[in-house]
Amino acid sequence: MPEPSAVLTIDLDAIAANWRALAISHPSGPVAAVVKADAYGLGAIPVTRRLLAEGARHVFVAEFDEALALRDTVPRAVMLAVLHGLVAGNEAAAAEAGIVPVLNELGAVARWAAHAAARGVRLPAILQIDTGMNRLGLGRRELELLAQDRAALDALDLRFVMTHFVASEEAANPLNREQVARFDRLRALLPPAPSSVANSSGIFLGAFAASDLARPGAALYGINPTPGAENPMRTAVALDARILQLREIEAGESVGYNSTWVATRPSRIATVAAGYADGYLRSLSGRGVGIVGGRQVPLAGRVSMDLLTFDVTDAPEAATGGFIRLIGPDLPPDVVAERAGTNAYEILTSLGARYRRRYHGVA
């Protein structure tokens, strides 16, 4: 196999360790594996396999097609749930595949209940209650109407009632407790069912956010669920891009498009095989850094589609054919995100298809 221009290493051992740590931090109930968006860009199938081997028995994705793609990987004994519910017309396929929809509005409840009645079975479902996000989920008026519809409720095998935090990464935000209190009041309108409340950051809010099932996503992949405090998770990715060329330039010479970076001294520039087409965000222009031989080196000039340029004047280890690290334990996604003016979720989910992917600790 030819040598790659850039290598994305996904540490499944770290993801598994993060899942175990989250399970310890949520003693009130099990911890699911949220593998939506291709496991936050890291590969849903290998990540899911490893987390199933660790003991995960609840798997969440966002889209129905994501669930179908995982159906051969996830045993029928494991709950495979779709956060966005079902597009009208997918009911038969979902029931046949044993997929559990999160029902977010009355129309979806009615369609799923009707399909259950037509099949003569109770079909599994999760109901989402909106407690302040105003995005997906049933509000009070809809829940009151649903509470009067015994036929629809009786058609459902209600696995969980869930909600989603608005600001769980802000531990002191009073909205967190308000949402839990609202959730408890609203779910009292429904038949008794297990609850699912905490996302990654919610697991660290304390006992008031405890429930029967937590749904961490970002923390599994090493994103800090406790911003402002030390990250309790292990970084799960490393991105290394090959140095294609080294160039010596004089003071006063510029690098890259529109001459936005000008050397203030004789400089050594490394041109690297990655760019915004690979998910290295253009907003890192003038802000990004790489690592060579344990030293940070600044991005010189703009991020272009396929190439990056770094000032490696102070990194004698830099060599043509070698690599510059763009993300890793020594340069975690949260740090890259801060420099890019975004969050680590976008950093991971933007990682491109051209990287050679290598998995460490395959199940």
Residues with catalytic roles: 36, 257
What pLDDT shows up at residue 150? 87
Is the Cβ–Cβ distance between 4 and 242 less than 8 Å? yes
Contact indicator for 339, 348 with CB cutoff of 8 Å: no
Domain boundaries defined on the chain: 31-221, 237-360
Distance CA 360, CA 236 (A): 10
Tokens in use for 103?
A: 């029902």
Q: Give this prediction's pTM.
A: 0.96
82 touches 63 (CB < 8 A): yes
Residue 25 has what DSSP assignment?
A: H
pLDDT digits (tens, 9 = 90+) for 22-52: 999 999 999 999 999 999 999 999 999 999 9
State the Cα–Cα distance between residues 162 and 15, nearest whole angstrom: 24
CB neighbours of 185 closer than 8 A, spacing ≥ 6? none
pLDDT computed for residue 269 by the predictor: 98
Specify the pLDDT at position 363. 65
Rounded Cα distance, 4 and 356, in Å: 6
The pLDDT of residue 18:
98
Rounded to whole angstroms, the Cα distance separating 54 from 335 reads 29
Q: Does domain 237-360 have CATH number 2.40.37.10?
A: yes
Q: Which amino acid does the sequence have at 352? A: G
Q: Which residues of 117-149 are buried (b: 16+ CB within 10 A; e: fewer)?
A: eeeeeebbbbbbbbbbeeeebbeeebbeebeee
CATH T-level assignment (fold) for domain 31-221: TIM Barrel (3.20.20)
Compute CA distances 315 → 7, 85, 126, 288, 289, whole Å: 21, 51, 54, 16, 13
Residues of the chain with pLDDT under 70: 363
Nearest to 86 by CA among 120, 115, 51, 59: 115
Q: Which residue type sits at 309?
A: T
d(CA 144, CA 73): 38
Same fold, 31-221 and 237-360: no
- Total residue count of the chain as it appears in this document: 363
Angle between helices 140-147 and 106-119 in degrees, nearest 10: 30
Count CB atoms within 10 A of the CB of residue 192: 9
What token pair was written down for 43? 């590969």
What is the tens place of the pLDDT at every residue in 131-187? Answer: 999 999 999 999 999 999 889 999 999 999 999 999 999 999 999 999 999 999 999
User: Using an 8 Å Cβ cutoff, are 256 and 231 in contact?
Assistant: no
| Model pLDDT, residue 362 | 80
Residues paired with residue 34 on neighbouring β-strands, in sequence order:
60
3-state secondary structure of 310: strand
Amino acid at 355: Y
The tokens 């690290």 sit on which residue?
325
